[in-house]
């Protein structure tokens, strides 16, 4: 399933006290991730969870420079 993911990039070697969120580089990409697990029904509608956070972060990390960490802001199914 395809998802549009918006994120910020925490550069390598930067700790949580070393930056202002507004100063981080923004990113947006489309990712192909496994189908979400069904969560049950609400009335006649089957609802499902979105992709697991670790799957999203792992897919993003493979696209970033070594040591950079993605901070996921939003995941939307396309």
Specify the pTM.
0.80
What is the SS3 string spanning 8-69? EEECCCCCCCCCCHHHCEEEEEEEECCCCCEEEEECCEEEECCCCHHHHHHHHHCCCCCCCE
**Predicted confidence (pLDDT) per residue in 13-54, tens digit:** 887 788 888 889 999 999 999 887 888 899 999 888 888 899
- What pLDDT, on the 0 to 100 scale, is given for residue 18? 85
- What pLDDT, on the 0 to 100 scale, is given for residue 39? 86
């Amino acid at each position: 399933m395809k998802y549009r993911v918006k994120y910020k990039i925490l550069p390598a070697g930067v700790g949580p006290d070393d930056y202002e969120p507004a100063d981080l580089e923004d990113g947006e990409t489309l990712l192909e991730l496994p189908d979400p697990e069904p969560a049950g029904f609400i009335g006649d509608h089957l609802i499902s969870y979105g992709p697991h956070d670790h799957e999203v972060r792992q897919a993003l990390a493979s696209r970033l420079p070594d040591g950079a960490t993605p901070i996921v802001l939003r995941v939307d199914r396309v």
